[in-house]
Structure 1
Amino acid sequence: MNNIFEDSRIRPELQTGLKAINFVNPTEVQKKVIPALLSEENVVVQAATGSGKTHAYLIPIFNQIDVTADYVQAVITAPSRELADQLYQVAKTLRKASGLPLTIAHLAGGTDRERQISRLQAKRPQLIIATPGRLLDFVEKKIFPIDQVKTFVIDEADMTLDMGFLADIDKVASRLPKQVLFAAFSATIPVKLANFLRKYMAHPEEIIIDNPAVISPTIKNDLLDVGSKSKKQVLYQLLTLGQPYLALVFANTKQKVDEITSFLQAQNLKVAKIHGGITERERKRTLRQVEQGQFQYVVASDLAARGLDIDGVSLVINYEIPRDLEFVIHRIGRTGRNGLPGHAITLMREEEMPSIEQLENLGIKFDFVELKNGQLQARKHHHYRENRQAKQGKLDTRLVGYVRKEKRKRKPGYKKKIQRAIQEDNRKKRKLEQRHEIRKAKRLRKRKREQGR
């Protein structure tokens, strides 16, 4: 089968609907996942954001739902309200295009619970798209039964883990029928997540979509060492450098988001902020205003990096390097979407070089730049100086001082003392390098083992 969308197992209405929304050439994840789910195989899928995974599970779900049966047949969970709403909108689009008369319910925390209950009682949904907390609430209160669910999908499973929702998923999954088809989709598969998934899937089909370019090739990914400069001033310069269509600035905490927002507003920039501390009403209003083009700059916490899909982001700035380094991938992935060009800049200081090296080990490639004369210009790779010094056998500052001091004293035997000091220093350096290589090899082996699970 050259084109999985034309698979004879897929309903003709669904095939027609896919053509209507210009789904002609399947992505790699769709080529591998759709046949597996059509064959009713449990799957664990590791694929990057934007790989087409949403339709990879929606198409088989739509295909297997009995539109004449008035009960819940499939459940999809998403870890945030925004992601659940995005999935709901995509599902509605596919339903409209295909003309299939199936009913879909969108259940999320932060929305009117009683209204949701009344809608469910008025018309029983066949597909539920929900956040873990609201789903568990309704299942425990027996608002609807899940004993006839055929397919259960956990989307953004690693984010579900990060946000502490696996316990809710566990309580729901334990009430599902034994023969239910499980599918989990995730950008990464941490050990804790892998252990959890094994509880419900004994021998799943593991599908890993290789993504050698961790960062999309449409994104220019820069690294800027701010040195002793004010980080806020550097940020202001970058934001006003080329007048981005829409710029996203990421910080690690709500407090830092507030601080950056206040600073930029004081510079007369119209800035919106999004983090977990604002009310649901304020969040929705802000997003609506951003979509309407009322803001050119948005400062956000990592929740926004994984939970929001804002169109038209042309610039992403990592004001801080996140504690969980993999968040950098999700932050940068907010720009350069749908084949459009994007630009990402990560701000760092010298003491953060170990984190940058870890990011490079994850496969993230940076272009090293500096701010000169109001422009971003290429600079030497951050390893250049230390490599050059190593080749030249340059002494560290402590030994340089020792040499100068001994030269001034000019006591007998000072040359031998210096040579011994240099030899001892070189011995220590070699020992440290060996330790570093051993630790690096251990980390690589551990990562390979985790990926192989």
Structure 2
Amino acid sequence: MNNIFTDSRLREEIRFALDKIGFKKPTPVQEKVIPVMLKRQSVVVQAATGSGKTHAYLVPVLNDIDVDDKYVQAIVTAPSRELADQLYKVARQLRDASGLNISIALLAGGQDRDRQIAKFEQNKPQLVIATPGRLLDFADKKILTLDRVKDFVIDEADMTLDLGFLADVDKIASRMPKDVVMSAFSATIPVKLSNFLRKYMEKPEEIVIDNPAVIAPTIKNDLLDIGSKDRKKIVYQLLTMGQPYLALIFANTKQKVDELADYLASQGLRVAKIHGGITERERKRTLREVRNGQFQYVVASDLAARGIDIDGVSLVINYEIPKDLEFIIHRIGRTGRNGLPGHAVTLVREEEMNRVGALEHMGVHFDFVEIKDGALVPRTHYRRRDNRTAKARQLDPHMKGVVKKVKAKRKPGYKKKIRQAIQEDNRKKRKIEARHEMRHQKRLRKRKREQNR
């Protein structure tokens, strides 16, 4: 099969740029997507983070831009300003390596709007990379016109849906020409997203890149049942017993990020924090300091799980399981990148084991561990699914005696009596378990009340 990076349909400058930045062999998503987009055909691509999808659409989009026409010819949307900024840098790298005179603009929240307007009007961009809200704002104010756009790419489409930006994208797409080539890239394709795409795409090419391992094989992915222990103290213990090169600790809310970062700082650790509540300037400064090696520990919200690339992460700690289970895949994926070994530890309590089961169903494999003598060691978890299944098939000694006794008599209907006896025994067990669970929940509520005093 021919290498798409050397395909004659690509401009000589683009082929040169790909070689210059070290792109010799396309990834599976690039190999399948680029030829379709070069034919100017709409495409819906389901591919995991880190599969190479950014270049899969940027290569044909840049290839399609007419350098002599000074108007917006292509738009790429990203659901967060961090993602948009990252895409902007990748697009500029490819443009600069090619030497093509293509003007690229970044429109994202968190930046001075008046400066963006002045820069936009001065540079006359041909490619715009934007967050949906800021893009719609520019379109509403007639600063940017959408009626001549040739290519429209929605990146991280599922995240766009999750964050509530699909309505903005809808308004944007409705103002584009009917012959615009729309492409959507997403880790998953929920039903609501699929319905939206059908509204604007007629028979798009659907490409699914199988991800055989949800978690990279280079990552040791551990599950730590902390019982009634303090989460913050467990995190501190994990951070100090192994001395990671760079650790990312994920919490679900900015309040939890602040609380955990303050606690770790009070224990003498130099901690950086990243979440949506800090200013853009502060966030950029923090990321720069992390990349320069000034911090060994970073506490972050899920904002950092998708869109912020920090090299050298050797340890990821999930302080809690995210509300959106899929985020845990992106969290863990921050370590073990580029073939390097990585380690992830997820903290869990007994009442969260059903969510662990849901993650296992999604293909996320965990190794159960415990802290012993200052190290993480394997353990067999009493709630592990295969153990539960095996035990469910076994009768306790009392019921074995009942079965043996009834079988010995061999009277008519003995099988029915055995079945009824087992059902009655299970009913009693469920009643006892329910009573224990009620007491357990009552203890948890009492503990929470005491902590909140």
Which of the five TM-score ranges fits, normalised by the shorter chain?
0.7 to 0.9
Instruction: Tell me by how many angstroms 1:229 deviates.
Output: 2.1
- What is the correspondence of 1:91-130 to structure 2 with a 5 Å cutoff? 91-130=91-130
8 Å contact 2:251–2:302 — kept in the other structure? yes
8 Å contact 1:150–1:180 — kept in the other structure? yes
8 Å contact 1:212–1:363 — kept in the other structure? no
Q: 1:395 to 1:112 in 2, by over 3 A?
A: farther
- What is the correspondence of 1:49-128 to structure 2 with a 5 Å cutoff? 49-128=49-128
Q: Corresponding residue for 1:168?
A: 168
Secondary structure of 2:118's counterpart equals helix
CA deviations 1:342-382 (Å, max 9, x no partner) are 11111101111110111011011111111111111111252
Q: 1:383 to 1:122 in 2, by over 3 A?
A: closer
Q: Corresponding residue for 1:386?
A: 388
CA deviations 1:356-414 (Å, max 9, x no partner) are 11101101111111111111111125236534543542389xx9xxxxxxxxxxxxxxx
- 2:142, 2:428 → 1: CA distance? 66
- 2:173, 2:58 → 1: CA distance? 19
- 1:236, 1:82 → 2: CA distance? 28
Q: Corresponding residue for 1:248?
A: 248
Q: Corresponding residue for 1:142?
A: 142
- 1:221, 1:45 → 2: CA distance? 28
- 1:194, 1:277 → 2: CA distance? 32
Secondary structure of 1:149's counterpart equals coil
- 1:146, 1:84 → 2: CA distance? 19
Contiguous gaps of at least 5 residues in structure 2: 400-416, 431-453
- 2:353, 2:396 → 1: CA distance? 21
Q: 1:420 to 1:108 in 2, by over 3 A?
A: closer
Q: Corresponding residue for 1:311?
A: 311
8 Å contact 2:75–2:152 — kept in the other structure? yes
Q: Corresponding residue for 2:48?
A: 48
Q: Corresponding residue for 2:406?
A: none
State which drifts further: 372-381 or 359-368: 372-381
- 2:429, 2:202 → 1: CA distance? 48
Q: Corresponding residue for 1:369?
A: 369
State which drifts further: 50-59 or 231-240: 231-240
8 Å contact 2:72–2:126 — kept in the other structure? yes
- What is the correspondence of 1:270-349 to structure 2 with a 5 Å cutoff? 270-349=270-349
Amino acid at match of 1:133: G
Query: What's the RMSD between the two structures over aligned residues?
Result: 2.1
Q: 1:419 to 1:180 in 2, by over 3 A?
A: closer
8 Å contact 2:357–2:385 — kept in the other structure? no
8 Å contact 1:14–1:63 — kept in the other structure? yes
8 Å contact 1:30–1:55 — kept in the other structure? yes
Runs of 4+, deviation exceeding 6 Å? 417-420, 427-430
Instruction: Tell me by how many angstroms 1:123 deviates.
Output: 2.1
- 1:353, 1:252 → 2: CA distance? 18
- 1:420, 1:195 → 2: CA distance? 49
Amino acid at match of 1:390: A
Q: Aligned pair count? A: 411
8 Å contact 1:252–1:320 — kept in the other structure? yes
Q: Corresponding residue for 1:191?
A: 191
Instruction: Tell me by how many angstroms 1:230 deviates.
Output: 2.0
Contiguous gaps of at least 5 residues in structure 1: 400-416, 431-453
- 2:386, 2:95 → 1: CA distance? 55
Instruction: Tell me by how many angstroms 1:274 deviates.
Output: 1.2
- 2:277, 2:397 → 1: CA distance? 50
8 Å contact 2:84–2:106 — kept in the other structure? yes
- 1:337, 1:246 → 2: CA distance? 13
Q: Corresponding residue for 1:237?
A: 237
Instruction: Tell me by how many angstroms 1:31 deviates.
Output: 0.6
Amino acid at match of 2:199: K
8 Å contact 1:32–1:207 — kept in the other structure? yes
Amino acid at match of 2:359: L
Amino acid at match of 2:114: E
State which drifts further: 315-324 or 301-310: 301-310
Amino acid at match of 2:240: T
Q: Corresponding residue for 1:214?
A: 214
Q: 1:108 to 1:428 in 2, by over 3 A?
A: same
- 1:271, 1:346 → 2: CA distance? 19
8 Å contact 1:36–1:43 — kept in the other structure? yes
